[in-house]
Structure 1
């Protein structure tokens, strides 16, 4: 086999990165202290990153920087400052979630390669087309994909010169990444900001199925699925674990390195995966890859399973046998710690010492001699030194222009000016050119000057008075068309019967309805969504799925980015408009008034905001009912999506309850027991938003009492007109509600 398979390892701190490098990783991904979705990891300083890049490159290992969080408007200047630094570091790629990065990098930092994070929920061909169009060079496919889906998506990605990577080991989220708001809703720590509190690992009141941890999945391991992943054409095998230590990283990377090398050399696999059980694990499953979503994917204990595995492997039953098994494992763990500590101690990320000597005489060029332990470089100015009149090339002028070298991989020693005569001058621009020339000779990289973003224009609203829009999901609610002029969106399911025209006919019968596409559309459900677009040819849609948006763009259909695209800043809007001809976007309900108010509207662009909806916490491809109320089926079948409509409630040990909801044609989802009701936003932000939106579906209703929908529409329309009585009436009608996310923000 000639094709290179990249082994991509996590690096939550410097020691973990060293461990990954020495264990044989082809690439590592790591984060700085900001803009990174693992804030619980130790993470790196910028100087650490420079040292890590230098060290990794000496071992032919690439480094990718995680910038995989949504970005707030007030963070854009800091983000650009960081990009100005990164572009001159030799970083091999950045991993991003926020669409703003695509605009900024494409326009101002095109030498940076962009990798689409798993947070972008990539699971259909259209999404890969979308990401290719906005500038991604590789995509991390959703962890829920099976091998057949991975193979099909990878083939399509390669046709677009996009690489694919797949998680092959480590923790599994039960929710679709990028579509989990459980931590944000319950404790105010958003997973879209790297602050996930792992509600899926929480303990709950024991369920009817007898489980205390009904949302807790085993860890992922595709150790014995390598041949199928190679056959699928996957370019990168990614290990999860940026909050794990060096011992874990070394053990897992070393095991995978040996497995890959064995397969490349012989076409066969190693049969022993016992080392993987000697470090933290929750037991292992490959069920997502196999497309076999069984109860066996769950484990009713979120803590380390390694000691239980040791007992089971040794068939330890008696106290003595258990003690022996535990002692053996403890000794093995101690040996791993000692081995890794010794190996890590031999690697250094210290900067390379750089000595600069400046010399020159009247009518001769200025000469700079740069000396490191490995090389000596000499450069000369393009013009000769002249007698100074006003501006002198003195020590202060030189230090000012060369101090930026501190932001490189070099440690600057005190400058030497012994050979430079006084009262001489050359244009200061020559010094800058010489610094850039010097950097190129030392690093073989062209120096890229700093970018300053121009101020964005805040274009006016399309209409002075904001309008109301509403969402329904049942044709019986079409009668609302008779009582309001509001835009009426019709929510499509996440699963369709193949070649069934039910929803096509609804739109053909009711041309006023605007299709609303969900965030997750996999396989035949994506294809059926495309067929609906091609048959109905609507003038406008709302899409929470970038794959459908990509198709709509190609068909010339006007589209609006839905609320589950997590849009939080002006530059994300520019990416949507300039690259995908998007006509408008919902602003994320995770951000507060102050985080919203300075977002700049692009020209002729509509901005929308939801003020009433059920609060989605998570959506999963797995079944929430297997571990809660129980299910007689041993695994999820094809018909489960279309037929099942169970519902239950789970309550955590803190006494907080959540509604578990499964609609026909939908994925299992969990909702907060409170409704989102944010009348304050109408008063605060009517100058900014063109449209305020209300969800009148009964999906995820939780504790929501059945309220007359005509009455609701009337009150919300009155709120937009400033009628105070309707605000009071709504608060009385919607008895269990919150707008906590609007108050706390991200």
Structure 2
């Protein structure tokens, strides 16, 4: 193995970061106490973070900062303050989800290396190009991809100087990252804000298949797949686990380091992964990577599997022997924790002490010697010292002007002035220049970057005309709705239509006013088919929830609107889409509330949309959710499952709340709330903000409105938009059980 492979470790707190460094990690990703997607981790203060960078660099380890959440409008200003501080550190990369943050970094902070988070859900070539245009130097590919798909995207990225990063160990999510809203919708804790409460790990009432944890997957481990990952060209092997402790981090990182060293030096893989079973796990699977998505990926227990593994490994032994094996494991864990504590206690993150000596005499420059445990250097003043009875060069003046040397990284331990003649004068500005020169030297001869002011965007004026009504359909039976005056009708395309592409070409050719609506997930051949369809249709307008299709529409000069699952929550995301990709419109996220929505302002020539009625999507999964619910005759998914399967099921949590699992032909499995989202308040709360309000009539999910006359539903929403008295009440009565809890809670 000649090429460099990065081993990227998690760091949730200071001791875990030290454990990763001690175990031989090439890089560590960690978060501050704000703007990162692991709020349950301890995380770091900014001062801690600076010292962590210093420690890591002393051990040839890089540090990446996670800023991987969606950003609210009122957070842009403090975010910019953070970026202005961050740009003057030695951080090696910034991990990003929010499009507004991509925009700020690429436009105003070019020295910061940008990495695309797994929350961006990168799974096709167009998305690589989209992120490349935003300045991303690497992308964390979706966990659901197989090795063939990873290799294709990695090679495509390398041709554009974009590196790939793949999760190789840690938790699997049941849903596509960035497209999971179950925690947000039913607990107010958004995964897109780092607050996921992991309801997928919750206990549910026993399903027809006899499972109590029907959404719970085993953990990911590609420990024996290193050779294939290297062959695919993957640059970084990423370990998940920022809420895990130092013993876990050290064990997993050191195991992977040994595997890498074995393959590098001997061309052979280690066959023993027993150490990985001694720290928290839910058992392991590599089925996504292998492309064998099957029911063995599930485990009906979300808790630590270590003791269960001991029982399974010692099957056939006596009860006494098994209990002794469990005790041995406890003893080993205790010893491992003590060993890690011993290894990291010498990894020092204290501030660098500065010993400063001043010397000089009248007619000569002031000489300042600075000594640290690692180096000694000299700084001299530009002007010469002058003898005067009104001396200005005293300890009080120096302390006042050099207080900036007491910062996150350094502290003044002592200042010696014995070699400096008495009664000397030098302009105070010279002391400031000397201080800056000292900081320059301590910062590795890197010039400080001046602060960036908050950019001023050119906003569109408020809407004066009433918003239009837009409707989404997914059945040819609903095509007559296209003839309803004053209503734009969109047609939802499936996640997979590679075999029926010609059918959709005919559909849109026969219905000129119909607007294509592209899905969030388009993997491999499905993306290629979607791209080909877009080229063949060359429609006047599309809506897309997939940035790969967005990039292609931009290239082809097609008018495109960003869909609701691109998670737009701030004005700078809109500016990004407009300036970088000539986007003409965007849906505002349904996760934010009235106040948060009203703070978002649109750039000129960008129309805003808001979905006021739709099935409440909780998650989309590449896995089959029927194995654990109603059962499935197939042990594993095959090519026909995505295209042909059409099935529904439900699960009920211990609070009695029901969730609908729905699979349409050509779509991945989706999970929905038992209530549709209905927000009639937004029409009167923000009438000047939106060009169109949107309703989803696709017959997906569970609702009493399925059997309702859709023309009547449309009429009801038009009356609402027109301001008719009691229109909202009539809609609520017509549509049955609905919710707008996300609009009430926000992020």
Q: TM-score, normalised by structure 1?
A: 0.96
CA shift, 1:359, in A, is 5.8
**Which segment drifts farther, 375-384 or 683-692?**
375-384
Distance 2:714 2:738 in 1: 17
CA shift, 1:533, in A, is 0.6
Q: Which residue matches 1:669?
A: 670
Cα distance change of structure 1 residues 388 and 142 upon mapping to structure 2, 3 Å threshold: farther
1:693-708 maps to which residues of 2 (within 5 A)?
693-702=694-703, 704-708=705-709
Q: Which residue matches 1:15?
A: 15
Distance 1:656 1:185 in 2: 12
1:464-483 maps to which residues of 2 (within 5 A)?
464-483=465-484
Cα distance change of structure 1 residues 564 and 23 upon mapping to structure 2, 3 Å threshold: same
Contact 1:457 1:600 in 2 (8 A): no
SS at match of 2:726: helix
Q: Which residue matches 1:691?
A: 692
Distance 1:639 1:391 in 2: 88
| Deviation sequence 1:275-322 (CA, Å, 0-9, x none) | 110111000000000000111000000011111111111225532122
**Which segment drifts farther, 144-153 or 472-481?**
472-481
CA shift, 1:458, in A, is 3.3
Q: Which residue matches 2:586?
A: 585
**Which segment drifts farther, 645-654 or 490-499?**
490-499
Q: Which residue matches 2:276?
A: 276
Distance 2:400 2:540 in 1: 58
Cα distance change of structure 1 residues 513 and 400 upon mapping to structure 2, 3 Å threshold: farther
Distance 2:355 2:714 in 1: 72
1:537 aligns with 2:551: no
Cα distance change of structure 1 residues 471 and 363 upon mapping to structure 2, 3 Å threshold: farther
Distance 2:592 2:178 in 1: 15
Q: Which residue matches 2:322?
A: 322
Distance 2:580 2:443 in 1: 34
Distance 2:9 2:342 in 1: 20
**Which segment drifts farther, 375-384 or 730-739?**
375-384
Contact 2:472 2:492 in 1 (8 A): yes
Distance 1:147 1:612 in 2: 39
1:596 aligns with 2:597: yes
Distance 2:335 2:703 in 1: 51
| Deviation sequence 1:587-619 (CA, Å, 0-9, x none) | 111011111112222121111111111110000
| Deviation sequence 1:368-391 (CA, Å, 0-9, x none) | 332212222222233446799999
Contact 2:15 2:344 in 1 (8 A): yes
| Deviation sequence 1:406-436 (CA, Å, 0-9, x none) | 44421233656674866845373x5554444
CA shift, 1:204, in A, is 0.5
CA shift, 1:48, in A, is 1.4
| Deviation sequence 1:45-77 (CA, Å, 0-9, x none) | 112111211111111000101111111111111
1:263 aligns with 2:288: no
Q: Which residue matches 1:136?
A: 136
Cα distance change of structure 1 residues 522 and 342 upon mapping to structure 2, 3 Å threshold: same
Distance 2:457 2:342 in 1: 52
CA shift, 1:560, in A, is 0.9
Q: Which residue matches 1:659?
A: 660
1:456-605 maps to which residues of 2 (within 5 A)?
456-461=457-462, 464-498=465-499, 500-605=501-606
| Deviation sequence 1:157-191 (CA, Å, 0-9, x none) | 00110110000001100100000000001110000
Contact 1:166 1:234 in 2 (8 A): yes
1:717 aligns with 2:692: no
Q: Which residue matches 1:439?
A: 439
Cα distance change of structure 1 residues 357 and 488 upon mapping to structure 2, 3 Å threshold: farther
Gaps of 5+ in 1: none
Distance 2:554 2:539 in 1: 12
CA shift, 1:724, in A, is 1.8
| Deviation sequence 1:603-637 (CA, Å, 0-9, x none) | 21111111111110000000010110000011111
Cα distance change of structure 1 residues 450 and 358 upon mapping to structure 2, 3 Å threshold: farther
SS at match of 1:590: coil
Distance 1:525 1:208 in 2: 32
CA shift, 1:19, in A, is 0.8
Q: TM-score, normalised by structure 2?
A: 0.96
CA shift, 1:442, in A, is 2.0
Contact 1:278 1:306 in 2 (8 A): yes
1:212-231 maps to which residues of 2 (within 5 A)?
212-231=212-231
Contact 1:10 1:30 in 2 (8 A): yes
Distance 2:718 2:384 in 1: 75
1:376-391 maps to which residues of 2 (within 5 A)?
376-384=376-384
Distance 1:376 1:252 in 2: 39
Contact 2:457 2:575 in 1 (8 A): no
CA shift, 1:352, in A, is 0.9
SS at match of 1:412: strand
1:369-448 maps to which residues of 2 (within 5 A)?
369-384=369-384, 399=399, 402-413=402-413, 419=420, 424=425, 426=427, 428=429, 432-444=432-444, 445-448=446-449
Q: Which residue matches 1:46?
A: 46
Distance 1:693 1:671 in 2: 19
Cα distance change of structure 1 residues 82 and 391 upon mapping to structure 2, 3 Å threshold: farther
| Deviation sequence 1:508-551 (CA, Å, 0-9, x none) | 11111111111100011101100111100011111100000011
Distance 1:704 1:499 in 2: 29
Distance 1:742 1:658 in 2: 20
Q: Which residue matches 1:636?
A: 637
Q: Which residue matches 2:77?
A: 77
SS at match of 2:608: strand
Q: Which residue matches 1:341?
A: 341
1:741 aligns with 2:742: yes
Contact 2:387 2:423 in 1 (8 A): no
Contact 1:384 1:426 in 2 (8 A): no
SS at match of 1:196: coil
CA shift, 1:453, in A, is 1.2
Cα distance change of structure 1 residues 580 and 397 upon mapping to structure 2, 3 Å threshold: farther
Distance 1:683 1:230 in 2: 56
CA shift, 1:151, in A, is 0.3
Contact 1:387 1:425 in 2 (8 A): no
Cα distance change of structure 1 residues 705 and 506 upon mapping to structure 2, 3 Å threshold: closer
Contact 1:11 1:28 in 2 (8 A): yes
Cα distance change of structure 1 residues 400 and 83 upon mapping to structure 2, 3 Å threshold: farther
Cα distance change of structure 1 residues 424 and 679 upon mapping to structure 2, 3 Å threshold: farther
CA shift, 1:397, in A, is 6.5
Contact 2:496 2:642 in 1 (8 A): yes
**Which segment drifts farther, 500-509 or 522-531?**
500-509
CA shift, 1:226, in A, is 0.4
Contact 2:501 2:533 in 1 (8 A): no
1:615-634 maps to which residues of 2 (within 5 A)?
615-634=616-635
CA shift, 1:452, in A, is 2.0
Distance 1:499 1:332 in 2: 57
Cα distance change of structure 1 residues 407 and 160 upon mapping to structure 2, 3 Å threshold: farther
Aligned length: 745
Q: Which residue matches 1:105?
A: 105
SS at match of 1:91: coil
